[in-house]
């Protein structure tokens, strides 16, 4: 969901205004997904590299995350959205961690849309943590092999399907450490639209183009 800060800067506003507008856009996209045939949606909210930003921006983002979860918990549950989080939680403040755990528990039985939010997530960090988990399992004798299936069971996304399509807004054409294992055979779409301007209609158009692609997964 790239481009919040630039969207605000282009209008002469503080970057956090763009992040707040981006959070509003998330709500619209989430609500549109079931009608567009999307069963699983993963949004990249905050990366392990985003801690390099100014203290003001980081603290502001954390406040937006807390407010979003607090305000949307009831609506998510009512609309049948199951919400989960991936990424390392230990660096997040305790209140945010508690809110994340609470909404995960509250929406655990929902099936209309599976929404995964990546907070303090980095693909390399996830792979390193998964390797550590696998090593611990081997040491304890819980597993006896290091096959792909055992490794996937140690990822943050264990039990989730791999993404069919990865969309990056704002015109940047790099993957920025997002789901490197899971997206090995994903289709990619890079759009110049900044995230606050990315409407459900934009998403629908992207999905239409995705539907025209031929996916061979290494075959002929």
Residues noted as catalytic: 2, 50
Tokens 């943590």 sit at which residue?
A: 129
Would you say 9 is a known binding-site residue? no
Would you say 90 is a known binding-site residue? no
Would you say 54 is a known binding-site residue? no
What is the CB-side half-sphere exposure of residue 177 using CA atoms within 13 A? Answer: 18
Would you say 216 is a known binding-site residue? no
- DSSP assignment, residue 157? T
Strand partners, 115: 41, 83
Runs of H (alpha helix) within the chain: 4-9, 15-32, 55-78, 94-106, 123-140, 148-152, 200-211
Would you say 175 is a known binding-site residue? yes
DSSP β-ladder status, 40-47 and 165-168: unpaired
Would you say 31 is a known binding-site residue? no
Query: Angle CA(187)–CA(191)–CA(196) in degrees, nearest 5?
Result: 120
Would you say 2 is a known binding-site residue? yes
- In this structure, are residues 169 and 39 in contact, taking their beta carbons and an 8 Å threshold? no
Would you say 15 is a known binding-site residue? yes
Q: What is the Cα–Cα distance from 155 to 60, expressed in whole angstroms?
A: 29
Would you say 213 is a known binding-site residue? no
Distances (CA, A) of 3 to 9, 94, 174, 210: 10, 28, 14, 22
Would you say 48 is a known binding-site residue? yes
Would you say 114 is a known binding-site residue? no
Q: What is the Cα–Cα distance from 46 to 91, expressed in whole angstroms?
A: 12
Would you say 57 is a known binding-site residue? no
Annotated binding-site residues for Mg(2+) read 2, 187
Annotated binding-site residues read 2-7, 15, 19, 47-49, 51, 53, 168, 174-176, 187
Annotated binding-site residues for substrate read 3-7, 15, 19, 47-49, 51, 53, 168, 174-176
């Amino acid at each position: 969901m790239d481009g919040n800060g630039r969207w605000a800067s282009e209008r002469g506003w503080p970057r956090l205004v763009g992040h707040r507008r981006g959070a509003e856009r998330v709500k619209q996209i989430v609500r549109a997904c079931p009608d567009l045939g999307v069963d699983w949606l993963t949004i990249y909210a905050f990366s392990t590299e985003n801690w390099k930003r100014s203290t003001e921006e980081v603290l502001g983002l954390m406040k937006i995350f807390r407010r979003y979860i607090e305000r949307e918990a009831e609506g998510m549950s009512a609309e049948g959205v199951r919400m989960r989080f991936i990424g390392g939680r230990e660096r997040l403040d305790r209140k945010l961690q508690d809110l994340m755990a609470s909404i995960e528990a509250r929406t655990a039985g929902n099936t209309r849309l599976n929404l995964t939010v990546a907070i303090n997530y980095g693909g390399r960090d996830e792979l390193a943590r998964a390797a550590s988990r696998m090593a611990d399992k081997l040491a304890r004798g819980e597993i006896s092999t290091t096959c792909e299936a055992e490794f996937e069971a140690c990822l943050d996304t264990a039990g989730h399907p791999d993404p069919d399509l990865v969309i990056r807004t704002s015109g940047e054409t790099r993957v920025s450490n997002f789901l490197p294992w899971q997206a090995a055979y994903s289709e990619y779409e890079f759009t110049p639209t900044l995230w606050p301007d990315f409407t459900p209609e934009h998403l629908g158009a992207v999905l239409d183009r995705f539907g025209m692609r031929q996916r061979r997964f290494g075959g002929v």
